[in-house]
Structure 1
Amino acid sequence: MTLKATLLALVATLTLLIAMTEAHSWADCVDWRPNNPNKPGWGAKDGKCFGYARQYPVNSKRRFGDLDSDSPNRHYQQNPKDFTSCSDGRAGREPGAKENYQKQLSKSYGGKFGNMATAVPGQRMCVRWPAKNHAVKDEKDRGVFINMPKKPTTGDLKQSVLMKNTLAKLPYKNCNPIKGDTDHTPCGGCFNLPKDIGPGRYMFQWRWELNPNEWYTSCWDVQVNASKNKSNSNNSTEPAPKKTFATLGDDTNVFSELA
């Protein structure tokens, strides 16, 4: 191999390592409906998405897990000095795409953005995210927190308030492994909405702790409607199997070899 070829290979390797080191995650789909609710899968053939985070670019034609290389990137890292709950495109150590509250739904959902999720009280909901090289054996799984208020919202709540309203804690490394590609590996988890919540628009937050006090969040809304005597594969209100990792709600860790 020539010196030039060697240098090019070295640069490519370093670029890849940097990309892997700086790769951080976000909520890809906030209403993922698996084909098999009893053993959820997170790959494209394992289910379908019915709801997305705010201003999620569904028509970007980007590969699953690639939105961190866009400008603005999708992941948002909070600044410990203020812990802004949802990215406004400015705050944070890594601002990310805008996910702050918009009174007009058309500014966050529909058109070039994904649809807003809808649900009924007690419904089981699943969220999906890309592993971004962090669902590996040598990294500690600090978990994903699903936060939501007890009443409908007309704006984004402070992080201190959301932390008092944690609905579920899910294992981050609950994934469908892709051999040789830990970056685009799909992961996810499920939880039940409270059975006693009233109808209205609720703010939700996906909050992942990568390292101690290093937090990444995604925000979305769910329109909760009054219960109906109709059900589908994702509307079960039966208690989900309890796992040791979850503090509230449930998880779906069926690939424990990654934990």
Structure 2
Amino acid sequence: MSAVRTKFVILAAALAFLVAMAEAHSWADCVDWRFKDPKKEGWSTKDGECFGWARKFPVTSKTPFGDLDSASPNRHYQQNPKDFTSCSDGKHGREPGADETRQNPISKAYGGRYGTMASGKAGDMMCVRWPAKNHAVKNEKDRGVFISMPPSPTTSDPKQKDLDDMVIAKLSYKNCSNISGDTDHTPCGGCFKIPSDRKPGTYMVQWRWELNDNEWYTSCWDLKVDAATKTKPKSKAGCPANLETGL
């Protein structure tokens, strides 16, 4: 291969990498993130640990945090405004993403090569983590992350138009533990409370992020709500004052 051709190949690869970075979009990485110090917020591995994951999250793939946009299938799912399918089925959407539809039984989406299903009690604080993917920078507007949860246990995934009426929290997308020089893999997150009126059962929960006007990305998971104890339930993680946990 000539020196000129070698330089061309290297340049093309570099440009492809930059385009991929510019087009990278986010997803929910961990859906039950717990701080090692409940009084200290942090989204990097030194600050906490994950106890629950989105549906079919490939925890055994050893893919580094934030790199599942280049995996096959990738995790970022952009809804198509023509149908707004609530959870990716790997087929629909402007970016199909990975299959996050409800499994039968639900356990098929968890365990083994997949992550653990999240659980908690009504009133518990739950924290969710996601990679910034270059979109938590100063020149981008923070349109927020919306957390939706039905009022009663689910037997099927609600339609998006119904989930829009089930929003229980709006979180700041740009609430991150900044990594100097790497706006792609910077970890971000936010916390919300499981509503106190939720009865024991398994609920579908949706993470929905608006990047631009009517440009939505979602991640879905199942949350097992256990019966409350007689004593006041304790939060599993602290919720810093700068997080917006309600509407």
Q: How would you bin the TM-score normalised by the shorter chain?
A: over 0.9
Matches within 5 A, 1:159-170: 159-170=160-171
* Paired residues of 1:54 and 1:220 also in contact (CA < 8 A): yes
For 1:190 and 1:92, the matched residues in 2 are separated by 27
Partners of 2:207 and 2:220 within 8 A in 1? yes
Alpha-carbon distance in 2 for matches of 1:60, 1:18: 25
Residue-by-residue CA offset, 1:170-197 (whole Å, 9 max, x unaligned) = 0101101111111111000001111121
Check the 8 A contact 1:118/1:225 in 2, yes or no.
Answer: yes
Residues 173-184 of structure 1 correspond to what in structure 2 (within 5 A)? 173-184=174-185
SS at match of 2:162: helix
* CA separation of 1:136 and 1:33: change in aligned 2, threshold 3 A: same
The aligned amino acid for 2:146 is F
**AA partner of residue 163 (structure 1):** D
Maintained 8 Å contact 2:125/2:193: yes
The equivalent residue for 1:125 is 126
Separation (CA, whole Å) in 2 of partners of 1:172 and 1:181: 17
**How much has 1:14 moved relative to structure 2?**
1.0
Alignment-mate amino acid for residue 219 of structure 2: S
The residue aligned with 2:236 is: 234
Using the TM superposition, give the Cα deviation of residue 231 of structure 1 relative to its aligned residue in structure 2, in angstroms: 5.8
Identity %: 63
In the alignment, is residue 248 of structure 1 matched against residue 233 of structure 2? no
1:118–1:223 contact (8 Å) kept in structure 2: yes
Shift of 1:37: 2.3
* CA distance in structure 2 between the partners assigned to 1:100 and 1:178 by the alignment: 33
Which residues of 2 match residues 103-182 of structure 1 at below 5 A?
Answer: 103-182=104-183
The amino acid of 1:210's aligned partner reads: L
1:103: Cα distance to partner?
A: 2.2
Unaligned runs of 5+ in 1: 250-259
What TM-score do the two structures reach when normalised by structure 2?
Answer: 0.93
Match in the other structure for 1:76: 77
Residues matched between the structures, number: 244
Looking at structure 1, the residues matched to 235 and 121 of structure 2 have their Cα atoms a distance apart, in angstroms, of 13
Aligned-CA RMSD value: 1.9
- Alpha-carbon distance, 1:230 to partner: 7.8
Contact 2:121 2:233 (C-alpha < 8 Å) held by counterparts: no
